[in-house]
């Protein structure tokens, strides 16, 4: 077997965009021949997958999986809505969710480096990219391990997902209440669980803005302070889940809906693709690019 160095592995990685372990294996199989190793990566579909790296993966799925008292909320992205709705992509997302609950990784990097049946998750995704034909990326995930039970809700087939960790008896009654809280959370998208989670700096900043706003309306200082305090109370009601009016019955808050038999410890929600800048191209321009590429 011809010798090769770590620099050779890095050079092959830069040339093909494939993962380090894939490049190392290709060089071993190619007896250190860089060109042959590059061909092997192409044959295996890995170099093809690497070419998708420049694409913007702004579609995809938000997905939840619960096993016992452990649950994961996960977002995996792809390039098109068509692929996101396909069975192959959905199976991939489910496999990744199972892997997360199995190894409980600290972050996305740890997940991608974890072993998944003799290959890393990163390699598993690259191979899937080669088959599906679009860039696929794990954007984020949250894992809860509950002392009580976990409730989840997925909206519109994966455009948004909610996961909540409850304390309380796991019964039909508490599950129904928990489900209603999950639906409400998806609708209202609260910033905090409770008022005590809002930092003093946030409230002081809010007070300063509101005070100036009221003063600009010509209100005296004393009256302005009272108005601002009322607005701060409203801020809590709008942004803190437990203080929010229940969307199905505005006569009660979420805290009142849960009563004494149910306690919400934490919650999270993802909106699919939120914050990702989507690449917009004219269809005719895209077709022209493909035609030109075929001529070369």
> DSSP states of 33-102 as a string?
-HHHHHHHHHHTTHHHHHHGGGS---EEEEEEEEETTEEEEEEEEES-HHHHTSHHHHHHHHHHHHHHHH
* Rounded Cα distance, 54 and 200, in Å: 42
pLDDT digits (tens, 9 = 90+) for 282-296: 444 544 554 454 444
For the record, the structure tokens of 84 come out as 């996101």
- DSSP tally for the chain: helices H, then strands E: 13, 8
Distance CA 264, CA 257 (A): 11
Q: For residue range 186-234, what is the model confidence (pLDDT) as tens digits?
A: 999 999 999 999 999 999 998 888 888 888 888 887 888 889 999 999 9
3-state secondary structure of 281: coil
Distance of CA 166 to CAs 123, 151, 155, 261, Å? Answer: 36, 8, 20, 10
For residue 215, what pLDDT is reported?
82
Query: Is it the case that residue 127 has pLDDT exceeding 70?
Result: yes
Q: In percent, how much of the chain has pLDDT > 90?
A: 58
Q: What is the pLDDT of residue 52?
A: 56
Query: Could you count the other beta carbons within 10 Å of the beta carbon of residue 29?
Result: 15
pLDDT in tens, 2-51: 678 888 888 887 777 677 788 888 899 888 888 888 878 876 766 555 55
Residue/partner pairs of 6-15 with CB below 8 Å, 24 or more apart: 8/32, 8/34, 12/37, 12/38, 12/41
pTM confidence score: 0.73
Of the chain, the percentage scoring pLDDT greater than 70 comes to 87
Q: What is the pLDDT of residue 288?
A: 53
Q: Could you give the CA distance from residue 106 to residue 120 in angstroms, rounded to a whole number?
A: 16
Residue 270 reports pLDDT greater than 80: yes
Would you place residue 261 in the very low, low, confident or very high pLDDT band (cuts 50, 70, 90)?
Answer: confident
Tell me the Cα Rg of the chain.
25
H or E segment and range at residue 139: strand 137-145
* pLDDT value, residue 294: 44
**Given a cut of 50, is residue 280 above it in pLDDT?**
no
């Amino acid at each position: 077997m011809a010798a090769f160095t770590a620099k050779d592995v890095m050079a092959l990685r830069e040339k093909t965009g494939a993962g380090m372990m894939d490049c190392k294996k290709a060089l071993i199989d190619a007896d250190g021949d860089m060109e042959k190793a590059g061909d092997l990566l192409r044959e295996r579909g890995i170099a093809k997958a690497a070419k998708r790296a420049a694409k913007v993966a702004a579609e995809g799925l938000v997905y939840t999986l619960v096993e016992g008292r452990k649950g994961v909320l996960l977002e995996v992205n792809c390039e098109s809505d068509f692929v996101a709705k396909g069975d192959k992509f959905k199976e991939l997302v489910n496999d990744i969710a199972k892997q997360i609950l199995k190894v409980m990784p600290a972050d996305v990097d740890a997940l991608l480096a974890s072993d998944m049946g003799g290959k890393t998750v990163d390699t598993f995704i690259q191979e899937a990219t080669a088959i599906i034909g679009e860039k696929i990326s794990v954007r984020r995930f949250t894992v809860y391990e509950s002392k009580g039970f976990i409730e989840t809700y997925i909206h519109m087939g994966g455009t948004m997902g909610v996961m909540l960790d409850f304390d309380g008896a796991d019964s039909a009654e508490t599950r129904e209440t928990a489900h209603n809280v999950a639906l409400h959370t998806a609708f209202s998208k609260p910033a905090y669980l409770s008022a005590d989670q809002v930092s003093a700096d946030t409230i002081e900043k809010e007070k300063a803005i509101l005070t100036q706003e009221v003063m600009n309306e010509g209100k005296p200082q004393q009256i302005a302070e009272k108005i601002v305090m009322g607005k701060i109370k409203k801020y809590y009601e709008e942004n803190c889940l437990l203080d929010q009016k229940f969307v199905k019955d505005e006569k009660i808050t979420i805290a009142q809906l849960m009563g004494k038999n149910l306690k919400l410890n934490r919650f999270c929600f993802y909106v699919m693709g939120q914050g990702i800048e989507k690449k917009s191209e004219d269809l005719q321009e895209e077709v022209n690019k493909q035609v030109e590429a075929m001529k070369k």
